[in-house]
Every structure is written in C-alpha cells, then in structure tokens.
Amino acid sequence: MDRLGFGGISGDEMKHPFVLSCFQDWNRTWQTHNPDLTPCFQNTVLVWIPCLYLWLFAPFYILYLKRNDRGYICMTHLNRAKTVIGFTLWLICWADVFYSFWERSHGAAIAPVYLVSPTMLGVTMLLATFLIQYERMKGVQSSGVMLNFWLIAIVCATVTFRSKILHALNEVNMNFPASVNVFKYTTFYIYYTMLLISLILACLSDQPPLFSQAVKDSNPCPESGASFLSRITFWWITGLMVTGYKRPLEEKDLWSLNTEDKSQRVVPQLVRRWDQECNKVKRSEVRKSEILLAKTLQKTGEPSLFCALCRTFGPYFLVSSLYKIIHDILMFVGPEILRLLIQFVNDSSAPTWHGYFYTTLLFVCTCVQTLILQKYFHVCFVTGMRLRTAIVGAVYRKALVITNAARRTSTVGEIVNLMSVDAQRFMDLITYINMIWSAPLQVILALYFLWQNLGPSVLAGVAVMVLMVPVNAVIAMKTKTYQVAQMKSKDNRIKLMNEVLNGIKVLKLYAWELAFKDKVSAIRESELRVLKKTAYLGAVSTFTWVCAPFLVALSTFAVYVLMDEHNILDAQKAFVSLALFNILRFPLNMLPMVISSMVQASVSMKRLRVFLSHEELDEDNVERPAITACDASLCLFRIHVRIPEGALVAVVGHVGSGKSSLLSALLGEMQKQEGSVSIKGSVAYVPQQAWIQNATLKDNILFGRDAKDSWYQKVVEACALLPDLEILPGGDLTEIGEKGVNLSGGQKQRVSVARAIYCNCAVYLLDDPLSAVDAHVGKHIFEKVIGPQGLLQGRTRVLVTHGLSFLPQADLILVMVDGEITEMGSYTELLGRQGAFAEFLRTYTNTEQEEVEESVGGEAGLLISELLSCFHASVLSHSPCSISVSCRQSQISLNAAGTGKTPQKTEPNDVAAAKKAKSTEAARLTEADKANTGRVKLSVFWEYMKAIGLPLSIFSIFLFFCHHLSSLGSNYWLSLWTDDPVINNTQPNREMRLGVYGALGLTQGDLTDIHVVLSVGGILASRYLHQTMLYNVLRSPMSFFERTPSGNLVNRFAKETDTIDSVIPSIIKMFMGSMFNVLGSCAVILIATPLVAIIIPPLGLLYFFVQRFYVASSRQLKRLESVSRSPVYTHFNETLLGTSVIRAFGEQQRFIRESDGRVDHNQKAYFPSIVANRWLAVRLEFVGNCIVAFAALFAVMARDSLSPGIMGLSISYALQVTTYLNWLVRMSSELETNIVAVEKVKEYGDTEKEAEWRLEHSTLPAGWPTTGHIEIRNFGLRYREDLELAISDISVNIEGGEKVGIVGRTGAGKSSLTLGLFRIIEAAQGEICVDGVNIAELGLHELRSRITIIPQVPHLNTPKQCWGKLLLKVIVIFNGIKYLARALLRKTKILVLDEATAAVDLETDNLIQSTIRTQFEDCTVLTIAHRLNTIMDYTRVLVLDKGQMAEFDSPSNLTAKKGIFYKMAKDSGLV
C-alpha cells in the first residue's frame, strides 16, 4: 500500500519492512529542521487510528440510534453523494489490495501489512457507508461520530500526503522518477480527495425526517436540524442574532421550544419521580409500624426531593460531567506547552519549527478546550432550564390539590417565591454543581504538576489551602443562616405586598397608604440588614479567595528558595508554577461560591420539599358511584341527608352555622373524618365571592367549554346580563380585569352564575349567589334559573340563601346550627312542627310587621328575616361563634375602566348589532408588560450610580485600579526575579525579591475592601430604588391598578428587586475585575512583545463588533423573558384564588395546560438567550486564543532578544486573557441585561399619579366637616379618556345629618358616585362641595381621612399599629363589622355605605343598620342599597338610571309617584 508511505522505498526495506523499529529514526522525526514520520509508522498507526476509532464507537452508536429513532429521512442528493463516496473509498482500498496481490504474483516481495492495512481500511469504509444509511433511516440529519471519523482520517492521511510529496520531489530532484509507483500514488491522491469531499459533506446537514416536529412547526428551533459543526460552534443561532442586530427582536421571532424541553415532557417526569419517593417513604413507615413495637416513636422519614431531581435530570446532566473531565485535563496542557516554549527559548540549538509547532499545538488545544467548555455550559444551562420548568410545574400542580389547612401554612407570597426565587437558585447552582468534584480534581492535578516542578516545597501551599477550609466552612454556615432569614423577610414582604395590591382600593378609601408603606419598609429594612451582614461576610470570603492563591504561591516559592540556596527560581519554574497557580485560583475561588450556592439551594430545596409534601385533598372524600338512583348522600359530624334527584334544596342558618362548610364537604374540599359523601353526575359550583378570570366576559362564561350560541344566549338572558352587554365597551368581548375589577359586585356574581349554568351539569351547588344583586335582579335570576320553572329545573340544586322569600318554592330546607342540621323538611313541614324555625319566624314577623308587608304565599316576615341568628348572644357572652371552615377570600370590587356607562340607548334584544358597534380597543383593559427596545439608556446606569452615591462609585473604581495594579506589579516583579543572574548556583538578592513580592501580594488582599464598599453601595441603591418604587406605586391612581396585572407588580417587587439586591452588585464586581484584568494582560503582552500591537487593534475591533452584535439580541431576549415571566405569576395568583371553583368544575387539567403554556412561552425567550451566551463565548474565546497564539508566535520569532522571564510572564497572562475576555463580555452583557431590572423599577416613576396626598399650605379647619352638608353640582366622571361619561349632570343638595339612600339597577352608577366623592376618580365635569369646601382643592388624604366608607366587599385586615388599643377592644368577626368598627372609631360627619350588608344574613344586617341609626344619628349617611327595606326610613332616596339622576325625594313621595323606585320596591315586595 504505497500510498501510505512505501512508494519508492529501497528493495532491502521492502523485503524486511519490520526488521527495523517503527520509531527507529527519532532524529528523522524530531531532531531535524525538516521533520517526517517513518514509513512504518505511516503504514500502521496512521491507518489504524481512524479504523479503531470507528469500530470502537460503532456498537454504542448503533445502540443509541436504535433507542432514539427520530423518523425516516428520504434519500437526498447529499445522502446519495455520501454513499457513493463511501463505496468509492471501499473500492480504492480493494484496488490497493488487488494490486498488492498482482505485484506478489509477479514476484515482488510484499509484506503482510500491504494486505492487512488496506483490507482493514476497506472494511471500515464499508462500515462507514452502512452507518451513513442507518443514520438516514433513524432520522439523523448530521452526525458528530462520522464527522470526527472523517476528520481523524484526513489528519492521518495529511501526514502521509506531505511525506509522499516530499518523497516524489526528492526522487525527481535526484533524477529517479521511475522509482515512483504511479498506480499507488494515483490511488492515494484519489483516496485523499475523496476523504476531503467526505469531510465537507459531513459538515452539511440533511433534510428533516418525515412527520418530524420541525416539519409541522411554523418556526421550529434550528438546533435539531443543524449540522454537527454548527452545533458545536453554535452557528445555528446566527440567523436570530442577525435579525436582532438589524432590528429589536419580537415574540414572533422566537423559535418553538424543543419537544424535550417542553413542560408536557419535563414536568410529568419529576412529578412521577417525586410520587415514587413519597410512596417509598409511606411503604417504609408501614413496614416500621408493623415491625417495631418499641414504645418510643421513631422520627418519620421524609421523601427526598434531591433523589427525585437526580433521577429526573441526572442522566442528561452526566453528559456535562464527561465534558468537564475532558476540559479539566486540557486545562493543564497550557502550562506544559508554556514550559516547552520557555525551554525552547533557553535552548538556542532547538530547531525553529519546534516553536511554531508548540504555538500551533497551543492554539489547537485552546480551541478544543473552548468548544468542550461551551458544550458543557450548554448542557448545564439546558438542564437548569428544564429544572426550573419542572419545579414551577410541580408547584402549580401541587397548589391545585393541597388542602385548605395546608394552604394556610403557605401564603401566596411564599408560593410565588418558590416559583421565582427558589427555582432560580436551582438554575444558578446547576451550572457550577460539577465544581464539587471538578475543583478537587483540578487541585490534585495542579499540585501533581507543581510537585513535578518545585518538589516537596509545594506542601507549604497545600498547608495554606487546608487552613482555608475551616474558614470557608464557617462562612458557608453563617451564609446559610442569613439566607434563611433573608428568604423569610422576602416572603413576608411579598405576602404583605400581595395584600396591599389586592386591597389597594380600601387603602386609598381610608388613606392608609403611608401606614402600609411604613409596614412594608420595616420588613424591607430587616431584609437589608441581613443583606448587609451577608455583604460583610462576603468581603471576608473574598479576602480569602484573593489571598489563598497568592499565599499558596508565596509560601511555595519562599520554602523552595529558602530550603536550599542552590534552588534557583528560573523562568520555567516560576511561570509554569504561576500558570498552575492561576489554574488553582479558579477552583479555590469557585468552591466557596459553589458551597454558598449549594447552601442557598438546600434552603430552597427544603422549602420546596415542605410545600410538595403538604397534605392533598383526598379524592375519596366524595364518591361518584355509577348508580341508577341519582342521589347525593352525606354523613359528616352527625349529619345525615339524602337529596333526591332534581330537588331544589335550600340551606339556611345564621352566619357561621356551617352552610358554606356543607357545600365544601360536598365538593370534597374538607377533610372527611368519618362517614361518606357520594354525588352522582357532574358538579357546578357558584362561590359566595365570585371568582372572575382576567379574560373576556364571554370566556369567563364559557370556561373552556365549546361555544353553543343558542344556549349561550339563553344563559346570558336568564342571568340578566343583556343590559350589561350593552353598557360594556366591547360587549361580551370586553376584557375583564384581574378579580373582575371592572365589574360591579352584582355583575361579577351574575357572570359566576352564568358560568355554572353554561356548563350544563347534573348537580349545582350555589353558595348565596343572590346576595350581591339587586332584589328585582335576584328575583329574576331565581325565577329564570334556580326556581322550579328556571333553566335548571330537573337538576339537583343546593342553594345556600339569606333571602327567605325563596324558601316556599324549595323542595327541601336544611336548617343549620353550629355545624349540624337541626331541622330538615319542606317549608310547610317545618312551620307545622312548631319548632325553633317556626318560632323564630313568628317572633321576627311580629317585630318587623310594621316595616314590611308580605309578598309571597301569605308568610309575612320571610322577606326581611334570617333564622337562628346567635350573633347578639355571641358578642355579649364572648362565646366563640362557629365560623365556616371554607375560607371566604375577599376581593376588591370596582366599577372601573370597562364600566363606562354610555347614555345612549340600545335595543335590548338587538345584541348582535350592539356588539358590532363596540370598539375592540375599548374592550381591552389590562396592559401586558411591554418589552422596551434598543440599547439600555445611559440614564439607567446613571440612575443606579446616583442611587449608590457618586463619591462612593468613584472611590470603588479607584480601589479596583489600585488592587489590579498591585497584582500586576507582583507578577512583573516575579519576572525580574527569575531573570536575575545566577552566581555560584545561587541568586544573590532572593530575600529582597521575596520580601517585595510578598508585600505586593498582601496589598492585593488589603484592597479587597472594594467588595465591602460595592456591596454597601448596592444595598443603598436597593433601599432607594425599592422605596421609590413603593411610593410611586402607592401614589398611582386606581386606573393604573386596573390596567396593570398584579403579576407584573409582584414581579417587580419579587424578581426585579431580588436582581437589584443580589445580582447587580456581584455582576458589577466581576465586570470591573474582568475589565482591569483584560487591560493588565494586554499591557503585559505589549511590553513583552511589542509586535502584538499589530494584532491587538484588529482583534479588539473584532471583539467589540462581536460584543455589540451579541448584546443587541441578548438585551432584547432578556427583556422578552422578563415580560413573559409576569403572566406566569399572574395566572398562578389567579389560580390560587379560584382553586375551589377549578376543582369543582373539574378543570384542573385545562389550567395546568394554560400554566405550562405560559412557562413554555417564557422559556422560549430564555433558551435563545443561553444559546446566545454560548455563541458569544465561542467567538470571544477564539479571539482570546488568537491573542495567545500570536503572543507565543511573536515570542518564538523574537526569542533571541527576549528574556525567559518576560516571555513567561507574557504567555502566562495570554493564557488567562481568554477567560478574562469571556468574563468581560459576559459580565458587560449581564450588566446590561440585568440593569433592565432598574429600568423596570424606575418606569413606575413616569406613570400617571394621583393628586397630592397633603397640600403644603392647607387652610382646612381642624374639625372639617362640621355639619356634613354635601352639594353636588352638575357632576360627571368617566373611567378612561376614550370612554363616555359614566355618570353625568348630577345635581343634588344634601343637608347635614340627612340619611340618603342611593338605588338603581346594577351598573346604574351608584358606586361611581361614591368613587367621585372620594376622588378615586377625578371629576370630568362639575364639582362636589362639602361644608362649602370644593373637595377638588383638598389633598387626597385630607379628604379621605375626614369621611368614612364601609366598602362593597371589604378586604384588608387593618394593622393594629394603625389604630392602637381602641380597635383591639372591638370584637369583630366579619369583614363588614370590622369596617363598622372602623367607622365608629373615626366618627366622621359623613358616612358612606356601599352595599356593605349585601352578603350577610338579615339579622346581622339589622344589627348594622340599628347601630348606624343610633351611633351616626347626627351624621350625613349615604347608603347604596340592594335591600330597599334598609332605606325605607331614610330622609330621601336618590334613584340613578344609566348614569343620570332619575328621581330624588323621600321614599313615601317616590312610592306615590309610581316611577322607577316604585317598580323596584314592588319587585322587592315592599309595596
């Protein structure tokens, strides 16, 4: 096989080719100015290496392909070309074999290797051709295994190719052209050409497999279809980067996620593993209880979340460990080559090509190291991404199934933190977790090479490292303590912020913003105190990191030179050792950080484990038997009831008697102690507090069901929603804000009822759905929906009610007292028994007979009474009232942007025409979090510097400069030391050199104060930015909170604030450090080899271009990721408020899909950002590798004029410049992308603000208002600039002390008037004067603190510190009574009741009304009333209709006029 090096070899060698050793002629290969390998080596080793590679990997590769079938790729031109070339190569090999046989038959002495090598190569080529086809059948578009095979083959053949050309030229020059074997030369050149073509073809990617996701997807991720070269260099993202450079990236530019990264693939894997861990613990507990009979109880085992995570993500993550091992080994090639280069400079007799060979080897090794490291990081980041997806998905799924008791132990803030902060901690850790084993490995390898270099003196360095271990251990333990404390404060802050944001309307109505601002600020201060302690601890830790490598080097050099005066510290020893110490610096620096990250992650893991271990609702609480008798039976706490199919069952009882608990038990929401509950058929549930999604009104009603227009129209009409659809700007396509902020309380409740009806279920559980609607609307809904002739006739209906007028129509009435059913039967049966029920009715009827006349079936009193109320007795005797177990989460109701009522009339039946007239823009309410575009403005950086303080910022930069100058000085001093002349085998000035070297190094350690300065500066900035944002948010008007989803605001106070607290200061430290390191390295290289000045400017330009090219996309991707994160939390918050409804309707899977979709949408922006980081790193490290190569190259070229010390210093710095460049760009881009958090926080400073809370020069009298006289002149307001007036032209004069009722159907503008009085919405026309003072001229707190409101749906718990001891003496049980207590404490001259008693039973309502009549006798009282009986004794009544004043007179006069008020009173049975 002459092509492998035997063409033209002498006859003696031909006869005995293996008599001589393959490595016989080292002088021919190494000690020569024109090197070459021996023919024997070329013919055996260079042929066998590619063959061995392929045969070694083929079995594993075939097995892998068999298990990972991606589909079938049709035969393409590319595949045909690969196959044809494979067969051609096989034929060439066989041609060589047959030619050798032919030569042998003609008497030539052919050695066996001529037959063995081409035969082996031929079979290997056949295997390669088979693999090409097998890959096609298994859907592999580009193969790394085959590319590497062709690369190895071409490299081996290139050596032979050069040897052959040299041999041929030599033969021609010596005039022996006949000795060249033309056939074998020809076959070899064809073979080499085919190899080259195969290598090029292997770099290309084939078409996608049939029916693959990439074919179906409109914008698939290009990774799966990218070639192997493209994948390892991350070239496949370049298209997106170019787009991002040309214009800001948008959502449509983002690729779909890879299937293996999607939630539907990742989350079930973790959930399954976690369930296995839980089951394992349960089984072990069962075994222990069976086996152990000891008296002492053993500690209960806990399921391991760590094991579940390892089993889920471990196999993929192990690939990163393989990459890490290869990278760690390659790291030590650099110092070895440096040693050879210094040796080369010292040895003037060494051939020049040695230097170029070392330079080339150094460049190749650093490039391979770069590719390996970036693949390692890619695997780590993708694992981290999947881990976050899995944790968020697992937490969401768990939140849907935990019990109410468990939910009370984990607040919304804590659960949001689990999804944001804790999941992020895992992502951060996963990148560096391999350092736990990699750092010790690097330390051991470094010490081994140091031992080889410096001998036993390296033990001094080891001793220093051992001493550092306990210091780092103590720091890690303290960090964990602080971490727990910080997370606790963060949880409390987010919990309080959630309360504030949910109850912002109440805060504004009561002027409590400052009180709650102080409360949040107090928690924030405790959080910052912990952060400051962590900063000081971090400074100590940093001091050890900076000093440890230097102390190791100092102690080692000191012991080495002082141990024996003949120990010479020359350039080779010093700078190879220094390069090894620099390698040592990384694991020593990283290990404490990794330990700290692990400590943080362990805290997060514990929090996650506790949450995921919470008790879940037992699905067996409610049995769903397939029985023919469609009954529901319940046995719970001495309760036994059997409800016939299709019955209407009313549940009555005083407040806290257990009515809602009964429904909760039927839903399976309560823990079953004994007995059984069984329900046949599907269930629909209407909660007491309507739960409304942030979606269109139609979507709220459909609730994931298919749209059926005819049924939908019936439902909307039956729920009295048609007039509302006319009023809403976009009809039923109007977007409803979070918690239904732009619907009134009645509208929300009717939407909730409509949702239940539309679902068309067998069983309906209705928890007092009519309390929040007007009496006539309630009557309409009962008749059209719930009653015997309603849409739900024939369905089983369980109705909790306070409206006793409906009871005669119920088939069965359940009377509840203290959690038990005391009486049960039909209405007439219960009256006939003459029991407590009948006695109560008679008593109540006698006392109220004068006020109320009967309306239904001759039973007076039913309209105004509620039964068995023990509230008076409870309060007076201080006996505890039995409170319903189900948590009645209160929410804020607001007539907001969407309820701009238009005065124009629309025909009520012409809904379609009305819808067409609606504006799509007007239908939108909430504003999605928008991503800014373009570069981050310098003003943002300037704002952050101002937040730190300019003097502190400048001082920090100066300290950084001094720190790095001393570092540079110590290394330059070392190079001068190594160049000292050796006299009598000793260096004379070594003590002086050692002393100065040590002093310069310790100066570096002292200058680590910069980290304390920067950390304190970061805390000052955090405090300022958080306080400013909190103040700006609280100053925002209500319209801001209606437009802005709470998830956006929570995201600012959670994730963005955490970024400003922890991430930005550490990034600034690393950015400054990297920048000075790069500048220092370039300075040293330029001093050593000035020729590098030719190369550094173009490389610098390339570096700058790559960096700007990258940042344009990276910054925008970060913004898109931040924007898409908010909807994840918004949806999660929404879900937590409505879990009982979601479970009741069986919609868990749909909500899980929605949550998964939002998480995937967020990861769509995150995935390209991590790939962009890798893209950048590969290119920047290539620039760095070029600097290393050129530094070495110019050092080789100038070896005659260069001292070994300066050369060693130059190349050791050059070896680090790659890392520094990479970190500099990464940190600059991280800084720019994370400073977006400051931008996001500051943006609320530019939003619209309310009027001033207090005016500086107020002339308001101290006791204002003194009489409570209210004059409303031509008053009107609108909710948004683009909407019609919600109320208009209202002129009313109310004397002080008057009691005025405000009535009108839902959406007439009743609450809007009160909003105008409190200036929640500013007047669009006219004015309101109180005691002659125009309220528009007052500060908001001056106004709101002087008048009192009991709002529609109270929410917030007043902080005790706001009111002191007085409030603590007031026994409050329900929200309405809390607000009554507050009103009593304020005792202002004007009191507004906004449907305050709609949702309480009639006796509690009576208590509240009598309290108001007696305690507020001399006050002006404005009452928005659903129950007209409460205002029949008022001075006057204001009737509103479609936003305008319809009637205003005394109740008796209005009744006599027989207008709108008369109709409403008639509907309520009062006339």
pLDDT in tens, 1053-1082: 888 888 888 888 888 888 888 888 888 888
User: 3-class SS at 991?
Assistant: helix
Average pLDDT over residues 68-87: 87
Using one digit for the tens of pLDDT, what is the confidence trace for 744-776?
778 888 898 998 998 888 889 998 888 777 777
pLDDT for the residue 390: 92
pLDDT surpasses 60 at 853: no
Average pLDDT over residues 789-818: 84
Say which residue, 1255 or 270, is predicted with more confidence: 270
pLDDT band of residue 844 (cuts 50, 70, 90) is very low
pLDDT for the residue 9: 39
Say which residue, 655 or 1130, is predicted with more confidence: 1130
pLDDT band of residue 129 (cuts 50, 70, 90) is very high
pLDDT for the residue 627: 28
Phi and psi at 796, nearest 5°, equal: -80, 125
Residue keyed to tokens 């309603």: 790
pLDDT for the residue 895: 32
* Structural contact between residues 520 and 493, judged by C-beta atoms closer than 8 angstroms: yes
Nearest to 468 by CA among 1014, 1005, 1033: 1005
- Report DSSP state, residue 73: P
Task: Lowest mean pLDDT of 740-749, 909-918, 1141-1150, 1443-1452, name the range.
Answer: 909-918
* Structural contact between residues 859 and 811, judged by C-beta atoms closer than 8 angstroms: no
Average pLDDT over residues 996-1012: 76
Cα of first residue to Cα of last residue in the chain, in angstroms, is: 117
pLDDT surpasses 50 at 171: yes
- Report DSSP state, residue 678: E
Note if the bond before 1265 is cis, omega within 30 degrees: yes
Task: Say how far apart CA 554 and CA 576 lie, in whole Å.
Answer: 14
Say which residue, 1285 or 921, is predicted with more confidence: 1285
* Structural contact between residues 50 and 153, judged by C-beta atoms closer than 8 angstroms: yes
Q: Percentage of the chain surpassing pLDDT 90?
A: 9
pLDDT for the residue 1265: 84
CA-CA-CA-CA torsion sign (246, 247, 249, 253): negative
Average pLDDT over residues 1434-1459: 88
CA-CA-CA-CA torsion sign (1453, 1459, 1462, 1464): negative
Task: Say how far apart CA 236 and CA 558 lie, in whole Å.
Answer: 51
Among left, alpha and beta (phi > 0; psi -120 to 50; other), residue 952 is alpha
Nearest to 1409 by CA among 1380, 1436, 1435: 1380
* Structural contact between residues 1386 and 1356, judged by C-beta atoms closer than 8 angstroms: no
> Within its chain, how far is the Cα of 802 from the centroid?
44
pLDDT for the residue 25: 56
Question: What b/e sequence results for 446-465 when a residue is b if at least 16 CB atoms lie within 10 Å of its CB, and e otherwise?
Answer: bbebbeebbbebbbbbbebb
Phi and psi at 813, nearest 5°, equal: -120, 130
pLDDT band of residue 1403 (cuts 50, 70, 90) is low
pLDDT surpasses 60 at 289: no
Task: Say how far apart CA 84 and CA 71 lie, in whole Å.
Answer: 23
Residue keyed to tokens 């085959």: 146
Threshold 0.85, pTM exceeds: no
pLDDT surpasses 80 at 34: no
pLDDT for the residue 287: 62
Q: Looking at the DSSP assignment, which residues form a beta bridge with residue 1293?
A: 1271
pLDDT for the residue 910: 42
pLDDT for the residue 1380: 60
Residue keyed to tokens 């550092």: 468
pLDDT surpasses 90 at 267: yes
**Integer Rg of the chain from CA:** 41
Cα 39-45-47 angle, rounded to 5 deg: 90
Task: Say how far apart CA 604 and CA 1248 lie, in whole Å.
Answer: 38
Average pLDDT over residues 806-822: 83
User: 3-class SS at 219?
Assistant: coil
Average pLDDT of the chain? 78
Average pLDDT over residues 965-977: 83
pLDDT band of residue 375 (cuts 50, 70, 90) is very high
pLDDT for the residue 99: 83
